[in-house]
Structure 1
Amino acid sequence: MLKSRLITAFILIPVVIAALFLLPPLGFMITTLVVCMLAAWEWGQFAGFASRTQRIWLAVLCGLLLALMMLTLPAYQHSVQLPQISFWLWASLGWWIAALVLVLFYPASAALWRQSRILRLVFGILTIVPFFWGMLALRQYHYDVDHYAGAWWLLYVMFLVWGADSGAYMFGRLFGKHKLAPKVSPGKTWEGFFGGLLTSALISWLFGMWAPLAVQPGTLLICSITAALASVLGDLTESMFKREAGIKDSGNLIPGHGGILDRIDSLTAAVPVFACLLLLVFRNL
């Protein structure tokens, strides 16, 4: 399992970085849309859609919803100040605060949504749609001045999340004794949690030294810490939904890693939260 995970990671990471820096805006948008459709396909299991046909339709409807939203935007303008984008980024903050409450009080909190397919679909919309707009808002950051400015920001957030995941795994394996959320994800420990944050802090410091990130250090620190914490919450939230659905992985599309949601669960929280703080709260426009 570990060998296949490492091989897949060594292949995917360069592909993701190449997509960030080499794809034109339309190509990046379409690629992100496809990823979100695959995530919606897998979310169908969380919503209680056992039929493959139902899940295909859910993915198609997700793609159509995002495409219709994009058609409402001015040509080649994806500014975070547009209400179509800012609404979803603000909504992401509200959703992840609510998700924190659901995770903290699980399994009692599941009584509120366990029997409601509509609520579980709403949770999926609030997870996938803000992620889509967060990806586009960050990629379009100062695009008219520097085509790669937004790519650096997205890479930074991804490195934060990858660092938190990898650090939590390593520190948890080496020192993990105290369970972080045993009712949601028994394998996660407090030692892994703090190890992940430490790794993210190290990555943030190194990245900030060498990458062209035009932002005040205090702003970067607050956004980075919040994004790292959000990434942990994203992981725990997906674990909660998988536990309710009685599945180990959201899919089997990525060898050694499970499904698309298993790989982007942390990013679905970290990206829109980081984008909202950086671009809307601190107005680093």
Structure 2
Amino acid sequence: MLKYRLISAFVMIPVVIAALFLLPPAGFAIATLLVCMLAAWEWGQFCGFAARGQRVWLAVLCGLLLAVMLFTLPEYHHTARLPLIEFSLWASLGWWLAALLLVLFYPGSASLWRESKVLRLIFGFLTIVPFFWGMVALRSWHYDSNHYSGAIWLLYVMFLVWGADSGAYIFGKKFGKHKLAPKVSPGKTWQGFIGGLFTAAVIAWLYGTFAKLEVAPVVLLVSSIVAALASVLGDLTESMFKREAGIKDSGNLIPGHGGILDRIDSLTAAVPVFACLLLLVFGTV
């Protein structure tokens, strides 16, 4: 299993970096749309869609929705200050606050949505659609003056999430004693959680100190810590839905890693939350 995980990682990381830096915003948006369609396909399991055809239609509908939203924007839209993007990013903040309550009060909270496929579909779209727009908004940031500015910021968010996840694993392995959310994800501990946040803070401080940014260090630090918190919530939320669906992995598309959602669950929360804070709340457009 470890061998497959390492091979998959060595393949995926260069592909992700190449997509970030080599694709123009339109091409990057299409690539992200395809990833979101695969995520929607896997989310179908959380909604109780056992038939392959139902999940295919869910993926197609998700892709059509994102494509229609994309084509309604002006051709030249390298800004987050458009109603559609703003609404999606603000909706993300609302959804993840609601998801926090669902996780905190699980399994009791499941009684609110367990029997409703419609609610679980809405949860899926509130996870996937803002993630798409967060990716697109960050990639397009300052594209006029520097084609790679947005790519660097997206790569930063990914390193932030991966660093927080690695820090949580190391600290949890070394010092973990008290369970963070035993009814949702028994393997996570408070010590790992704090270690992950500490790692994220160090990454944000180093980046803010040594990189030449147009963003105040305190803005970067606050946005990064909240994004790191959101990444943990994204992971826990997917674990909650998988537990209710009775599955271990969201899919088997990536050997050794599971499905697309298993790889991007933290990013589905961290990316739109980071984009919302940086671009809208602090107004660093």
The TM-score bracket by the shorter chain reads over 0.9
Shift in Å, 1:211: 3.5
1:4-153 paired onto structure 2 within 5 Å: 4-153=4-153
Aligned residues: 285
Hey, what's the Cα distance between the residues in 2 that align with 1:155 and 1:111? 38
Which amino acid in structure 2 is aligned with residue 69 of structure 1? M
- Counterparts in 2 of 1:166-185, with a 5 A limit? 166-185=166-185
- Give the conservation status (yes or no) of the 8 Å contact 1:153–1:213: no
Provide the residue aligned with 1:284 in structure 2.
284
Query: How far does the alpha carbon of each residue in 1:84-120 deviate from its partner, in whole angstroms, 9 at most, with x for none?
Result: 1100000000000000000000000000000000000
Deviation at 1:167, TM superposition (A): 1.4
Task: Name the CA distance, whole Å, in 1 between partners of 2:231 and 2:214.
Answer: 23
Q: TM-score, normalised by structure 2?
A: 0.97
Aligned to 1:192: 192
Alpha-carbon deviation of 1:78?
4.2
Report the 3-state secondary structure (helix = DSSP H, G, I; strand = E; otherwise coil) of the residue aligned with 1:188.
strand
- Find the residue that maps to 1:128 and give its secondary structure: helix
Distance 1:130 1:123 in 2: 11
Q: Provide the TM-score with structure 1 as the length reference.
A: 0.97
**Which ranges of structure 2 fall in alignment gaps of 5 or more residues?**
none
Q: CA deviation at 1:157?
A: 0.6
Counterpart residue identity of residue 89, structure 1: L
Q: 2:241 is matched with which residue?
A: 241
Q: Which letter does structure 2 place at the counterpart of 1:105?
A: F
Rounded Cα–Cα distance in structure 2 between residues aligned with 1:155 and 1:203: 12
Question: After TM superposition, which residue ranges in structure 1, 4 or more long, deviate above 3 angstroms?
Answer: 209-212
Determine the C-alpha separation between the residues in 1 that align with 2:193 and 2:247.
Answer: 23
Shift of 1:210: 4.0
Instruction: Decide whether aligned partners of structure 1 residues 5 and 174 sit closer, same or farther in structure 2, where only a CA change above 3 A counts.
Output: farther
- 1:204–1:7 distance in 2 versus 1, CA, 3 Å: farther
Cα deviations across residues 156-180 of structure 1 (Å, max 9, x unaligned)? 1111100111111222222221111
Tell me which moved more, 275-284 or 201-210.
Answer: 201-210
Letter in 1 for 2:143: Y
Tell me if structure 1 keeps the 8 A contact 2:102–2:110. Answer: yes
8 Å Cα contact 2:172/2:188 also seen in 1: yes
- RMSD between aligned residues: 1.1
Question: Percent of counterpart pairs with the same letter?
Answer: 78
SS class of match (1:187): strand
- Residue ranges of structure 1 left out of the alignment (5+ in a row): none
Higher mean C-alpha displacement, 94-103 vs 173-182: 173-182
- Aligned residue identity for 1:43: W
Aligned 8 A contact 1:135 1:272 in 2: yes
Post-superposition shift, 1:75? 0.4
Asked if the contact 1:251/1:260 (under 8 Å) is kept, the reply is: yes
CA distance, structure 1, for counterparts of residue 111 and residue 145 of structure 2: 50
Secondary structure, aligned partner of 1:237? helix
**Residue 184 of structure 1 aligns to which amino acid in structure 2?**
V
Q: Output the amino acid matched with 1:260.
A: I
Q: Output the amino acid matched with 1:119.
A: L
Deviations 1:236-277 (A, max 9, x none): 000000000000000011111110000000000000000001
Contact 2:78/2:142 (CA < 8 Å) preserved in 1?
Answer: no
